[in-house]
Amino acid sequence: MIVSRRSYMLPTIILICLTYILFSSLPPGAETPYGHHHHDHHHSDEQQHQDHRVRWHKHAEQYPIYDYIPLPSAPSSPIPRVQYKFPKESWFAKWGRTKRQRAVKKAFKHAWKGYKENAWLRDELSPLSGGHRETFAGWAATLVDSLDTLVIMGLTDEFEEALEAIEQIDFTTTDAIQINVFETNIRYLGGLLGAYDLTHGKYPILLQKATEIADMIYACFDTRNRMPQSRWEWTRSAGGLSIEPSRNTILAEIGSLNLEFTRMSQLTKDPKYFDAIQRITDFLEETQPKTKVPGMWPMMVNARDLELFDPRFTIGGMADSTYEYLPKEHMLLGGQTNQYRRMYDSFMKAMKSRLLFRPMTEDGRDILFAGNVHAGSGKTTLEPQWEHLKCFLGGTVGVGSKVFNRPEELSIARKLVDGCVWAYDVMPTGIMPEILHLAVCPDAENCTLPKNSHSEDPDTYAESIAQGKKLPPGVVDIPDPKYLLRPEAIESVFIMYRITGDKTLQDDAWRMFQNIERMTRTAYGHAAIADVRDPASPLMDYMESFWLAETLKYFYLTFSEPDLVNLDEYVL
C-alpha cells in the first residue's frame, strides 16, 4: 500500500507491503481462520442467492466514543534523508538495468493476464488449474491489492480497467462467517489508499471504496475496551449484537492496523479511525516494559482482559508487522509525536540483546539473523530459527537507522539483508524456504564450519540424505521447505540498495528473480513451490495477491530509476 503525505509538512508517501501472511497453524484457543476455496472459475453464479445474503448495516454502537483522540497537532519534526544520492547513470548501466526491469514487468503482465482471464473479481488465481480461490472475503483481493503496482509499472489501461471493476465490489456482504480484519485492512484498504495516493486523488472512486470498507471494519472496535475483535463476527455486528475481542489475539493482527487507519483520518478528517488505533498504540506502549522480554510483546495477546502472558517472543510470523510499523507510523505522522521513537528504541534494545545471532557458515561470513525466545519458568531460551517472513527486518532496521538517527545500526541492517541473500544462495533452487534453523556461532572468533563437517543433527542429516535433499552447511533443519512467492527478502534488498547505492544488491535481486521466475512460472501465472531443496519440486496451485502487489513490485523498483518511489518521498 502507498499512503501519501503530500498534504503534510514532510512530503512523503507510505508504501505498505506486508510481509506477514499466516500459513502456520494457530495455537490452541486461537480464533479459527475463515475463507472458502472455490476452483470453478466461471462467474455465472455471481448473483445466486444475492437477495438472501446478510448485509452490513450500521447500528448504534454498543460502546460509543464521545471524545475522540485527535491526530497529533504538534509541529512536524524534520525526517532525516533516507535515500542515497545516486550519481548520473551511464548509458551502459541504464541499458542493463532497464533490461532487467522489463523482464520483471513481463512476468507481472503474464500473471496479471492469467488472473484477468481466469479469476477476474475473485480473490486469487489458481495458477496450475486456471481456477480461482476465495480466501479473503471474496472481494477481489488480487485486483485491489495490485492497484498500486499497476500504477508504478505504468500499466494505465490495465489500471483503468481495474477501476471499472472495483465499482462492482460489494463490501456490504460476504460468504465468510468471520472477517480477518488484518488481512482486509492490508489487502483491501491498503490497496485502495495506495492507488489513491499514487494517482494524487485523481480517481475519487478509490477513496469512496476505501471509506466503505473502513467504515465496515471499524465496527470490529465496538467492544467493551475498544480493542478490536480481530476475527470479526461481522454478522453479529450487522444484526446489532455485541462482540468481544479474543483472549487469543495474534500480536500482528492487533498491532498492524495503524497506517491505513491513520491515513483514513488524514484524508477524510474523520478522527474515529485514528482514535481506534491510537488506543491500541497506547496499550502497547504501556505494556512494552512489563512483558517477560521487556521491549517486545509476546506472539499472542489477551485482548479481552488486556493481558500479555504468552512466553513466546519473535519478530517473525504472528508478530512481524507490529515492529515493522513503528518507524513507518512515525514518518506518516511527520514526526509529530515521539511515541513511536520511544517504542522503537525499546524494541531495538531487546532485539539486539536477546534475539540477534550470527550463524556458522563455510566461509565465516559476517551475517546476522534474529531467532525466537521462549521466556517461561524464569529461563529464557533462544531458538535459532529464521523465517522468510523475518526478512523484512533488514529493511526496517535500515529505515530506522536513518529516520531515528541511529547510524550505528545501518551495519546491522546490512548484515540482516545479506543473511537473507545467503539463505537464497545456499539452496539448490536458489530460493529461500519458509523456515530454517541455523547453527549458532559459539563466539565471535569461532564462526567458520570445519571442512567436511555437517552442522546438522545426525538423525536429521541422515533423514535428509535418505530423501536426497542434503541440508546446506550451516543449516540445521528446514521444517518448512516451501516458497510461497513472498516479498520480504526482495523488499529489504530494495530498501538497502536505495539507502546505500550498492549495486551488488541489484545483482543479488536479479539472481533471486531469475531463480524464482524459472521455478514458479506456469501457463496461467506463477505458483508456490513445495520444496526449495528440490530443483524439480512440484508446484502448489495458489498464487497469493502479494505476488503481484508486493514481490514483483519490489523487484521492479529495484531496477527502476531512483526517483521512482524515492525513499525521501515515499516510505516503505
Residue 58, pLDDT score: 84
In order, the DSSP letters of 104-125 are HHHHHHHHHHHHHHHHTTSSEE
Q: How confident is the model over 155-210, as pLDDT tens digits? A: 999 999 999 999 999 999 999 999 999 999 999 999 999 999 999 999 999 999 99
Range of 365-379, 443-457, 522-536 with top mean pLDDT:
522-536
> What beta strand segments (E) does 366-482 contain?
369-370, 372-374, 381-383, 385-387, 435-438, 475-480
Write down the pTM of the prediction.
0.89
Residue 544 known to be catalytic: no
Residue 378, pLDDT score: 73
Q: How confident is the model over 8-59, as pLDDT tens digits? A: 333 333 333 333 333 333 333 343 332 333 333 334 344 444 557 889 888 8
DSSP structure class, residue 290 = G
Residue 59, pLDDT score: 85
Cβ atoms within 10 A of the Cβ of 99, count? 11
Q: Where are the alpha helices (DSSP H) in 407-548?
A: 410-425, 458-466, 488-500, 504-520, 546
> Collapsing DSSP states into helix, strand and coil, what is residue 283?
helix
Kindly name the residue from 123, 488, 544, 568 that is annotated as catalytic. Answer: 488
φ and ψ at 394, to 5 degrees?
-60, -45
Nearest to 190 by CA among 516, 553, 497, 434: 553
For cell 552442522, the residue is 455
Q: Is the pLDDT of residue 450 over 80?
A: no
DSSP structure class, residue 537 = P
Of the pLDDT bands very low, low, confident and very high (cuts 50, 70, 90), residue 570 is: confident
Kindly name the residue from 31, 183, 387, 508 that is annotated as catalytic. Answer: 183
Residue 31 known to be catalytic: no
Query: What strands lie across the sheet with 570-571, from one edge to the other?
Result: 2-4, 13-15, 570-571
φ and ψ at 543, to 5 degrees?
-135, 100
Kindly name the residue from 260, 320, 324, 491 that is annotated as catalytic. Answer: 320
Residue 537, Cα to own-chain centre: how many angstroms? Answer: 26
Kindly name the residue from 148, 197, 310, 434 that is annotated as catalytic. Answer: 434
Whole-number Å distance between alpha carbons of 3 and 193: 6
Residue 456 known to be catalytic: no
Residue 342, pLDDT score: 98
Whole-number Å distance between alpha carbons of 342 and 333: 15
HEC readout, 37-76: CCCCCCCCCCCCCHHHCCCCCCCCCCCCCCCCCCCCCCCC
Mean pLDDT on 316-338: 96
- Could you give all domains of the chain from N- to C-terminal order, each with its CATH number? 2-23+67-571 (1.50.10.10)
Q: What percent of the chain has pLDDT over 90?
A: 81
Residue 565, pLDDT score: 86
Residue 1, pLDDT score: 52
Residue 434 known to be catalytic: yes
